[in-house]
Structure formats: C-alpha cells, structure tokens
Structure 1
Amino acid sequence: MKKNEIFIFIFLLLFSLIIFVNSQIRVTDSRSDLKHQLQISATPMAPEMLKAFAGEFKGVVADYLLLEAASFIGANIKADEKQWDAVCRLLDQSSILDPYFQQTYIIAQGSIPWQTQKIQQAMTILERSKKHRTWDWRPGFLLGFNHFYFMKDNSKASQELMQASKIPGAPIGLATWGSRLASKAGEYQVAIEFLSAMYENTEGVSQKRMLKDRIDAVAGAYQLQQAVERFKDRYDRVPDTLEELLGSSILPELPRNPYNRSYVLKDGNIEF
C-alpha cells in the first residue's frame, strides 16, 4: 500500500471515528433530556370524525398513532396522569382505525392496567379486538384475566374464559380456569397460571420479560401470604410486620419483589 493510500485510509478511519463518537454523544444527550423534551398529546376526536379524517389511510394513521404511544411507553418515562390519558387515547384511536391489528391490544394490555388505574380503557380496546378478531382467543382471555385480577369479578372472568375456550386453538386450560373461578374465589395459583399462559403465548422478548417479573411478583406475594397464614395458626394472631415472619423461623428470607418495591402487610393480607 502506497503512502498516500495509507494516509487516506487513516484519515477516513479517524473521520469515521469522529462521526461515530459525535453521534453517540448526541444520542446520550438526547436520552438524558428525553424526560424534558418528550411530550405526548392526542386530540380528543369522535370515532366518526377520526375515521373521516383518516380517510383511505386508516391503516397508516393507526400505525402512526400506535408507534407514538409505543415509543413513549418504551422510553420508561415516569408519566403523569395527563400523559397516560394521552397514551390511552392514542391506543384507543389506533384501535378504532384498525381493530384487527393484534399489536394494539397487546401493547395496551401490557401497559395500561399495570402502570395506571385506567383499567376500563384497556378493557374497551380488548372488547373491540374481541369483536373484530373472532378467530383470536387472546382478547377474551385477557378480558377474563383483567376481570379476575384487577376488577375482582370472578363471575365475569369465568364468562370470558368459557367463551374464549370455545375458539379453535385456545388452550385447554381456559375452560378449567373458567369453571374454577365460577365455583370459588380467586387464588394466587390461578393468577400465576393465568400469567404463565400469557408468558407461553407471547413472542416479544421485552413483553415476556415483563410477564416474568409479574409472575415472580405474584409468586412472592403468595409465598408471603402462606407464611402469614402459618404464623396465624401458630400464634393465633396476625404478624405486625413481615420481618416478624423471619424472627419466628416461619420464613427463611423475604422474597424479592422484581418491581424494586417492598411487599406490604395490611390487615393480614399481602399487597404489592
């Protein structure tokens, strides 16, 4: 290689490195300022007006709205209520424009019920998906889970699961869970089975990770609740604190909550 070729090669290499380092700095700066710069908004609009506005580009507009909501959720920003209202509205509008798209209800279910108290907004999107995706058992399954886990309505949960179990391709366990919920109050085991089924039928890596955390959180709560019951049987009273379970040798150690917050003992029940 001639000297001038070596010089050109070194120059191009250094120039590329400078461009790379500069771009990395810009990305880092952008991420550090994301909490201040990223604002999410969605214009309230009646379904008929929304469809008329989108015209023949309903699918494109639906994808754009979904992408905006998903980008905000994926940024891991601690959003306020106003921002979550906007996220819910974006997902709802995307679902209205394209009720057949699976990813919309998956993202809605994976974020809204767990990070906000706006359960009904997620239920509305799931109901719409269930109505249009008649071949898909998952919307009915998720509706059943929400009725059971968040809304504490085992009767409605049972109805949704029994309906979903009749759809071709649905897991055999849906009918079993539906009958169990119809006959008795929900238990931690049922919640773990629900979440495990959701985990097995989810493909996205990040979504599977979120579900795994939820399974571990519920399993930890179940372990603590069992320990509280053993304490009550032994001492005929509820422990004052969870640490008291350790001192009584009923529990070797407190389970770790994957959400990095402590389990709470309130009136003999575990909250998290």
Structure 2
Amino acid sequence: MCTRYAPLLVALLGFAAFVSITLLRTQQSLLVDQSRMLDRVVIAAPILLALYGGDRFLAADLEVMRLAATGMQDGRSDTGYLVRAQQVVAQLNGCHEDNYYLANGLLTWGGAVSEGNQVLQAAVRCRTWDFVPAFFYGVNLAFFQRDIVGAQGVLELGAQRSPENAAGLRKLAVMLQAETFADEQLALGYLIQQRDAASDPRLHDMLDMRVSRLQGLVSLREAQRRFEAANGALVSLEQLVEFRLLSALPDDPLGLGYELSGGKITLKKLKIAGMED
C-alpha cells in the first residue's frame, strides 16, 4: 500500500516545499522597496527536477510560464532574473521553443547578448530539425558580436536543416562577408564569384540581384569621382545625369535605390531599430 502511494506522497511533499519557498520569498519581498525591480528566486535545475518528480519537460514548461509572467514589471524586464531563469530552463530542456524565443527577444535584444546566445546555442544543439535558432544565433553573432565567420557557420547549419529556406540563409551569409570589404570593387568581385559558384538556382538569382545593385553603386561612385575632379563637390545624384556622366541613374533591382550621404554615394538600406550602423 505504501509503495502504491509513494509517487503521490513525493509530489505532495514537493508541492508543499515549493509553496513554502514561494511564501517565504513573498514575506521577504514585502520588506524591500517596491519601487525597485526585485531580485527573484530561481531554483536550480536539479532541485526543480526533484520537485517535479524527475519530469524535466514539465519543470521546464512551468518555469517558462513563470518567467514569462514575472520577468517584466512596469514595462521593464528584470534582466538578472531572466538570465538565471532562462539558463535553468535551457539546462532542463534545451529544445524548449518558448524559452529560446524569449531569450532572443528579452535577453539578446535587451542587452544581455552573450547570455541570450547561450540559450540559443542550447536550442541549436537540441532542435536539429529547426533552422530558426540557427538564424537567430547567426544574426546575433554578426550584428552584435561582429563574428562574421561564426555567423556564416551557424547560418550554413540552418540552411542544411531547412531546404526551403536554404537559399535565403546562404545569401545572408554571403552578404555578411561582402559587407566587410571596404572597397566596393573587391566586394563586387566576391559577390560575382559566389553567384557563379552557386548550384542552387534560387541562390544564384538572389546573388545576381545583389551583383546588379553593387554594379550600380560602382558606376555611380566612378561618375562621382569624375564629376568632382572637374566641378567640385557633388550635391545631388541627378547632377551626374545633367553633366552627361551617366545616361540615367542605375536601377536598383531591390527597389531601395542609392543616396548621397556625407558626400559619399551609398546603398540605401532598410532602417530597423537597434540595427543601424
């Protein structure tokens, strides 16, 4: 009879311990200045595993629900708490989808880049069927940590996991490398080489548009150099046509166009908050 009810007794004891800890923490928090973000208890993964009867998936699910509900206060995220809580969830279940989404949004884009990336790394290792963690991690490596080589490796892994998105991921990896060239002619040569070597027709077409766009920039900058050698500083792109240095301004196959910024002709880019140079 005792053996039959042993799991129930363990569950009840675990629940009682959890409630006791929660109540104790609640009593302590009443003594703290309520206007500040309070430090919250994060229970270690082994203890959570014991509390939930060895079910690491249940433990991870409930912890994610708790941190999603309590990680924000007055529109601000409690980063210290989220770092600890989400890393515990990653230890319990690295595959947890909500956890890596929250980590990318609240940690990485909230300033805790390396900590958020640790959760994404666990998801990349665990979710071998899912390209999204690799995409998130690759973008973070490139834009936050400037690790282009690392980003390219992770994006290639994502491409291997998702044939339908492979061309886009590989195109992004190529463009990240092209952005590192200070000279537009070198960048153009690299893009042409990558386009011609692409075996995927979709990737070839994507890179061909980028080649055309960069060829337009090269022709504009060459015309600018000739114009300024004879006439002084260029004021507008239209002057290149008015002075017959170009028959027309080049078309951008991406539809974004070109602009004169700080005396230099550049590619127009989509403006995304937090990702501008």
TM-score, normalising length from structure 2? 0.50
Alignment of 1:83-94 (within 5 A): 83-94=78-89
Query: Deviation digits for residues 67-110 of structure 1, max 9, x if unmatched?
Result: 1221234555334xxx3111111111112212222111011111
2:98: which partner in 1? 103
User: Helix, strand or coil: the match of 2:136?
Assistant: helix
Query: Deviation digits for residues 145-173 of structure 1, max 9, x if unmatched?
Result: 00111111111111111111111345120
**For 1:167 and 1:75, how far apart are their aligned partners in 2?**
37
1:194: which partner in 2? none
- Does the CA contact (< 8 Å) of 1:73 and 1:111 recur in 2? no
2:58: which partner in 1? 60
Unaligned runs of 5+ in 2: 1-33, 183-257, 266-270
The amino acid of 1:110's aligned partner reads: G
1:180: which partner in 2? 175
**For 2:51 and 2:181, how far apart are their aligned partners in 1?**
45
Match of 1:167 among 149, 152, 161: 161
The amino acid of 1:72's aligned partner reads: T
How far the C-alpha of 1:51 sits from its partner, in A, is: 3.9
1:43: which partner in 2? 42
- Does the CA contact (< 8 Å) of 2:60 and 2:96 recur in 1? no
The amino acid of 1:139's aligned partner reads: P
Range that drifts further, 49-58 or 118-127: 49-58
1:71: which partner in 2? 69
User: Helix, strand or coil: the match of 1:140?
Assistant: helix
Look at both structures and tell me which one has the larger radius of gyration over its CA atoms. 2
1:135: which partner in 2? 129
**For 1:144 and 1:106, how far apart are their aligned partners in 2?**
14
CA RMSD of the aligned region, Å? 3.4
**For 1:257 and 1:94, how far apart are their aligned partners in 2?**
30
Q: For residues 90 and 186 of structure 1, do their structure 2 counterparts lie closer, same or farther at Cα, with a shift above 3 Å needed?
A: farther
User: Helix, strand or coil: the match of 2:76?
Assistant: coil
Alignment of 1:233-248 (within 5 A): 233=264
Q: For residues 55 and 37 of structure 1, do their structure 2 counterparts lie closer, same or farther at Cα, with a shift above 3 Å needed?
A: farther
Tell me how many residue pairs correspond in the alignment: 164
1:241: which partner in 2? none
2:218: which partner in 1? none
Note if 1:113 corresponds to 2:111.
Answer: no
**For 2:143 and 2:181, how far apart are their aligned partners in 1?**
8
Q: Quick one: percent identity of the two aligned structures?
A: 17
User: Helix, strand or coil: the match of 1:166?
Assistant: helix
How far the C-alpha of 1:128 sits from its partner, in A, is: 0.7
**For 2:176 and 2:264, how far apart are their aligned partners in 1?**
27
Alignment of 1:17-32 (within 5 A): none
**For 1:151 and 1:134, how far apart are their aligned partners in 2?**
24
How far the C-alpha of 1:119 sits from its partner, in A, is: 0.8
User: Helix, strand or coil: the match of 1:99?
Assistant: coil
